[in-house]
Every structure is written in C-alpha cells, then in structure tokens.
Structure 1
Amino acid sequence: MRAAVAERAELLWETARALHADPENAFAEHRAAALLTARLEEAGFAVERGTAGLPTAFTARSGQGRPAVALLLEYDALPGLGHACGHNLIAAAGLGAALAVDAVLGGSAGCVMAVGTPAEEGGGGKATETEAGVFDGVDAALMFHPGVHSWSRAPLTAQVQYRVAFHGRAAHPTGNPTEGVDALAALIELFNVLAGLGRRLPPASHVQGIITHGGTATNIVPEYAEGRFGLRAATTGALEELTGRLRDCAEGVALATGTRAETVRATPRYEHFRDSGVLSDRFAGHLAGAGITLTPPVPGVQLGSSDIGNVSTRVPAIHPFVAIMDDGSDHTPEFAAAAASPRARDVLVAVTGALACTAADVLLSADLREEAWERHRRGED
C-alpha cells in the first residue's frame, strides 16, 4: 500500500499545490471539485457529482456493497486567508488513499469511497451529506487534519450559531420618547444577561455574540435589532442545553423590556466528535511506521468544531491531527504558508499511506469492523 502511495506521491503533491494556489471558499469550490473528480475518474472510479444536492460535493466509488470505507476530502478555503486550515492537504490525502486502496485491492474486498465534503468552514457540507444518508452502509469514515499538534484523536466540540432579533416600536427619542419600545436596548440587555450566564457555564461551553443590526438613525428609537451568537459546548447534549438557555434569556429580556424576541438557528449544528479509538490506534500504528508519532490530546484543550462530528455519530470515524508546523495556530497566514511547505509534502505522503493501510484493515478484517461497530454502539471512544 505504501508503495502504491509512493508511486503517486508527485501527483498528490501537485494536487495539493494546485488547490493551495487556487483557493475557493465554502460552497464555491467548483475548480477544486473538478480537479479531484477528474483524478478519480482517470483511475476508473465511478463518480457522482452534486451529492446530497450540493453542487461542489461528490462521491466516487470503486467496488460495491459491504464492507465499505469512506475517505473524506475537504477542499474549501478561508476568506482572505486561503488554505490556512490545510484543507488542500486533506483533499490530497483522501484522494491518494482512495487511489492506493483501489490499486492494491481493486473491488475484491468491498467498496472504497472518496467523498467530497464542501464547506467545512461554517457551511456544514458533511452535516448535509449525513442527513442525506451518504454514510449509510459505510463501515468507517477516515480523514486527517494538519495542525500544530500530532494527536491521535481530535477534541472537537459541538457548535451552532443563532440569530436573535428583538422587535419593538419606533418613535422620536425627544418628540414622543414614551411611545418607543427600544429593540436595541433589549439586545444590549441580552448581552449583559449572557455575560452573567457565562460565568456559570462549564469550561468548554461559551456564547460569543455580535450585533448585526442596531437601528437606522440616531433620532429614531430602534424598532428592530438583531444579533448573531455562536454557541459551543463539549457535547451535543450540552449544546442543546445551552441553546435552551439562550432562548430563555432572550424571552426573559423581551418580557422585561416589552419587546418580542425571535430566536432562529442560523447555521447547521456541528455535533461533537466521537473518535473510534480502535481505528485511531490502527492509524497511529501505521503512521509510526513512517516515523511520525501521535500522542493523546492534552487534557482540557479544545480545538474548535467540525462537521466530522456529525459523521461520527453515524459511523466509526477518525480525525487525527498531524503537525505541519510546531507552534502558532491554524487560520493564520503562517499556517497557509506551512500548508505548501516541504514538511507538508512529507506529512502528506506519510499520512496518505497510513490512511490507505487503515482503510485496507477495515475492508479486510471482519473482527476489526465488529469491534469498531460494537464500541460505536456502546458510545465508547
């Protein structure tokens, strides 16, 4: 399997560099999807474009039926920063692993899928695909993420955004001030209430908000005000509780101020990530053979959220981090540069081999599949 990856190393690096040089943002990754599907079709994969009704999503298959393993490809960039999250490497690694498994096993051991998952950066392509049943009938979903840590699993939290609007009544602030019902004052009061709530939340939970509409003129009491609030929590259940508290706070402020509150979900919900420990161990073992050691994540450290969490609720999944730089953070210009560096090339080849070997393990070992599914059904990492 590693030999099959090595044969394609230059092709994979060319793909990663091409994506890096031509970044496209969420749901606009048309050239990226075209490039990746072309590579898969050249290798004989059957490609379906527009998966789950998403124009830049795709599913490519080699083989049929069960067992089945999915390699996940992300390829959206960040506005203004390009590939500062390294999705160019994720796409190339998933592509390479799928090509290698197909080259070595063909369709003899089951089905290998390369799933194009657009808009991880806020759009939730995997959430939409999961709801559409793309991962039904899949035994494992595999991907990696470049980072500043080399961790065997990803401590990814649940997150969602809500729009909270207050409806009041316009008036002249001096001509008839008692007739006005100030929607902006209600929104500001909600910020104050949430600040007090935040002091009592668990460490992994928080609410962060911005004002998106605060009125139209200083001499008009605002009849409408709107804010957008990002909510995070360690688990999906804790996020649901936090969402309920946001609604309660908004309704309480509305009651106190004589306004009407409207709370509406503004983004797909990213569920917390459930790591398949048995599959992550396999991946870490294969990667160690290439000279890269993964460790457990540092306790208490959270690295944001991802729609891979939604996939991990349905099937056993892995999402290890592998460092392409030793300090700093992703979502920075420095990380964007690192995603096209010589170190990134070395990581890409090593990780692609480990993903391909792990995918082969899933396809070839009924015992491994059963253990992964049994732990998944029990809710164990």
Structure 2
Amino acid sequence: MARSLDDVHQQIRKEVTGRAETLWDVALRLHADPEYAFDEHRAAALLTDVLEREGFAVERGVADMPTAFTARSGRGRPTVALLLEYDALPGLGHACGHNLIAAAGLGAVLAAGAVLDVGDGSVLAVGTPAEEGGGGKAVEVEAGVFDDVDAALMFHPGVHSWTRAPLTAQVQYRVGFHGRAAHPTGNPTEGIDALAALVELFNVLHALGRRLPEASHIQGIVTHGGTATNIVPEYAEGRFGLRAATTDALADLVARLTTCAEGVALATGTRAEVERVTVRYDHFRDSGTLSERFAEHLDRAGITLGAPTPGVYLGSSDIGNVSTRVPAIHPFVAIMNEDASDHTPEFAEAAASERAREVLLAATEALACTAADVLLSAELRERVWSAHRAPAAGER
C-alpha cells in the first residue's frame, strides 16, 4: 500500500526526535571548534563520519576542495540536495550560525534517508566550504555537483523569520594605479602620484553612489598607499566590494567601476589595472513554492515565517549560484530578536543557546519533510521547475 505524505511526515518527525541529542551535540561541537574558509577539516570529518556510519555513500574532496563532500542515500533521480555550511568567521567563531546549518542539513538527510524507499529517489548531503569568503558552492556548481539535482534546500539562522532570503549579488575587485616615483620636494614635477589617483577614484565612486539603484553599492579600502612619506607613491591599490540586487545589475556596476578607474587614470597620467579577485556570488532566486512548503512544515512546530521587509537586503551568499541552476530555498529563522545582528559576539553566543536548539530541530524536520514532498510528488517537481525556468523579474 502506498504511503501518504502525512504518514511520511510523521515518520520523519519521529526520526528527528530520535536523533535530537546527536544533532545538538554536532552543533555544539562545531560551535566550540570554529574553522575558517577552506580549512574546515575537523568539521568535514565530523559530518562525513556520521553520514558514513549511517550508510551514506560518502565522497570527500569534491570539486578539488579538500573540505567539500557529498553523501548520498538512495539511487537515481529525483534527487534533493541538503546543503551543509560549516565555516566560521575569523575572530567571531560561529557568529553566522553555520554550526546550526550543518547540523540541520545533516539531520534532514538522515531522517529522510531513513524513511524514504530506494525507489523514491535520492537524498544528497552537500558539504559546502567557505561561504563566508571563497564561495565553495559556486565552485561546486561549476564542477557539476548540482547538475542532476531537482532541488537544493537549506535554512539560515538569523534575527528575522522570513520565508525567503533577500540576498544580493556580490564580487570584489582590485584596482591598482601605476605612476612614477619622485622626491616630493626635490623633483615633484617628475613624479606621478598613484595614491592621488586612488584617492580620486574614491571621490568619483562616492559621487556615483548617489545615483545607483536600490541595493547597489561599492565599498572600498586602501590596501597599498605607498612606502614612505618622502617618496611620491609609484603604486597604489584598493580593494572594492560591489553588491547589487541582481547579477545583471552587478555586471553593470563592474562596468561602471572599470570606466571610473580608466577615467581617473586618463586624468592623472597613471595606468589603471582592474582585476576580479573573488568568486562572484549571484543573487538568490527563491523557489516560492518550496519556500511555502518549508514554512508550512515549520508552522507545525510553532514557528511562523513572514515575508521579508521590502527594501531590506541581508548581504550575499553563494547559495545564489546554486539557485541559478536548480530550484532552491534559503529561509531565515530567528534565534535572536530583530534588534540584534548576526556577525557579532552576541549572535555567536546565541548559536549555542536553548532557542537555537529549538530552531535547529524544527528546521531539521521542515527541511526533511520538504525534501520528501519533492521526491514523492512529480506534480510538485514540475510546478517548481516550471517556475524556475521562467524569467525572473528584473533579469534580462
């Protein structure tokens, strides 16, 4: 006799309840031992060891990243990926709650894998390093990790409880100016001040910022400004972070930065170099249908998600790159009140709190139930993919 979705959901909730202490222990162990971008060796070992003991087929070092992994239960399509983040913030530890993301993804694949039959398809845990800087998911996308995936699911702890994540596209560029050294009093007319050119670029970008569309901005720092006060700087360099509401808008912003740098170089007699220095994070495309499913499942645990506040953006993430390839969700679930902020010592403390434990277990259940919905309903998959293939608002 075919099982109903309600029966599957009930079995999943029992599986999560039975693993509650194990999942919380994993979250606390990650929290107590923070590791940083592409160096999360102990975290990856902890997670893959658990998955291997549970009978998952584990592949380590995927996409040529030593701390990336996949772990599969089941066979063939359809396939749902649960994403596990586990890097921390230098100096702050798990002040973005990635210990909870990893534990929830782990619990969701374990619960779904225990309940679903082989003929139902596959659940796939994807270990994704370096979300805070490095873009492990973007690297995995390009390596084909998500090519045969039907949906990608994760949640993020935060200070809001929102069905979807308003996440912008972002990238960083290096701008260097080459001038000519000279003595500032002995032969000043022989010098070409590269630092003056860089300062002028900051001024031009400040003026440009007044005319940029919502969510677009450029934030820069000086990374090299000369070697001594009695030498006209022959080289100066800045690093610039660019963000925009969409990936297309980000491309326009990069073009403006390049034009400004070249214009300043022409005006100052310097030579400009503009070079991308990070992986580009695409903006996040939410699968509304799947986000609603997640919210419905979470509501059964007494946590209600609402719509994001219009005009509010919460940074960027490499989940955006995944969402360009497959339907994806990235809801926020609050572990602190809205007057707080992540990326703070207080948020790091909250990521090991009793409220965090409650959110972890509720989100784990909701993720696993949403995964089961995708695997067991061809109609849902078709609806989700149809929406994913349609052009999104604001995209060319």
TM-score, reference length from structure 1: 0.99
Letter in 2 for 1:43: E
1:329 aligns with 2:341: yes
Q: What is the match of residue 305 of structure 1?
A: 316
Q: What is the match of residue 4 of structure 2?
A: none
1:287 aligns with 2:295: no
1:8 aligns with 2:7: no
Q: What is the match of residue 238 of structure 2?
A: 227
Q: What is the match of residue 352 of structure 1?
A: 364
Counterpart selection for 1:33 from 23, 41, 44: 44
Give per-residue Cα distances to partners, 1:3-25, cap 9 Å, x unaligned.
11111010000000000000001
Q: How far apart, CA to CA, are the structure 1 residues paired with 2:300 and 2:118?
A: 26
Counterpart selection for 1:164 from 175, 181, 184: 175
Contact 2:179–2:191 (CA under 8 A) maintained in structure 1: yes
Q: What is the match of residue 178 of structure 1?
A: 189
Q: What is the match of residue 381 of structure 2?
A: 369
Contact 2:75–2:119 (CA under 8 A) maintained in structure 1: no
Q: CA deviation at 1:63?
A: 1.5
Q: Secondary structure at 1:225's aligned position in 2?
A: strand
Letter in 2 for 1:252: G
Contact 1:159–1:232 (CA under 8 A) maintained in structure 2: yes
Letter in 1 for 2:119: S
Give per-residue Cα distances to partners, 1:290-322, cap 9 Å, x unaligned.
111000101111000000000000000000000
1:111 aligns with 2:125: no
Q: How far apart, CA to CA, are the structure 2 residues paired with 1:235 and 1:86?
A: 25
1:268 aligns with 2:260: no
Give per-residue Cα distances to partners, 1:196-254, cap 9 Å, x unaligned.
00011112110000000000011111110000000010000000000000000000000
Q: How far apart, CA to CA, are the structure 1 residues paired with 2:112 and 2:25?
A: 20
Q: Secondary structure at 1:96's aligned position in 2?
A: helix
Q: CA deviation at 1:272?
A: 0.4
Give per-residue Cα distances to partners, 1:318-346, cap 9 Å, x unaligned.
00000001131000010000000001001
Q: How far apart, CA to CA, are the structure 1 residues paired with 2:17 and 2:92?
A: 30
Q: CA deviation at 1:108?
A: 2.7
Identity of aligned residues (%): 79
Q: CA deviation at 1:65?
A: 1.4
1:154 aligns with 2:165: yes
Q: CA deviation at 1:122?
A: 1.5
1:379 aligns with 2:391: yes
1:240 aligns with 2:247: no
Letter in 1 for 2:270: T
Give per-residue Cα distances to partners, 1:56-97, cap 9 Å, x unaligned.
000101122110000000000000000000000000000000
RMSD between aligned residues? 0.8
1:48-63 matched pairs, under 5 angstroms = 48-63=59-74
Counterpart selection for 2:261 from 250, 257, 261: 250
1:99 aligns with 2:93: no
Q: Secondary structure at 1:137's aligned position in 2?
A: coil
Misfit runs of 4+, over 6 Å: none
Q: Secondary structure at 1:108's aligned position in 2?
A: helix
Q: How far apart, CA to CA, are the structure 2 residues paired with 1:64 and 1:185?
A: 61
Give per-residue Cα distances to partners, 1:162-217, cap 9 Å, x unaligned.
00000011111111111111100000000000000001111211000000000001
Q: CA deviation at 1:106?
A: 4.1
Q: Secondary structure at 2:118's aligned position in 1?
A: coil
Q: CA deviation at 1:380?
A: 4.6
| Structure 2: gaps of 5 or more residues | 1-11
Q: CA deviation at 1:107?
A: 2.5
Letter in 1 for 2:389: R
Letter in 1 for 2:96: C
The number of aligned residues is 381
Letter in 2 for 1:189: E
1:73 aligns with 2:84: yes
Letter in 2 for 1:55: P
Q: How far apart, CA to CA, are the structure 2 residues paired with 1:50 and 1:203?
A: 39
Q: How far apart, CA to CA, are the structure 1 residues paired with 2:381 and 2:48?
A: 28
Contact 1:206–1:232 (CA under 8 A) maintained in structure 2: yes
Q: What is the match of residue 338 of structure 1?
A: 350
| Structure 1: gaps of 5 or more residues | none
Give per-residue Cα distances to partners, 1:349-373, cap 9 Å, x unaligned.
0000000000000000000000000
Contact 1:62–1:106 (CA under 8 A) maintained in structure 2: no
Q: How far apart, CA to CA, are the structure 2 residues paired with 1:366 and 1:203?
A: 38
1:210 aligns with 2:221: yes
Contact 1:51–1:59 (CA under 8 A) maintained in structure 2: yes
Letter in 1 for 2:361: V
Counterpart selection for 1:120 from 131, 134, 143: 131
Q: How far apart, CA to CA, are the structure 1 residues paired with 2:388 and 2:119?
A: 26
TM-score, reference length from structure 2: 0.95
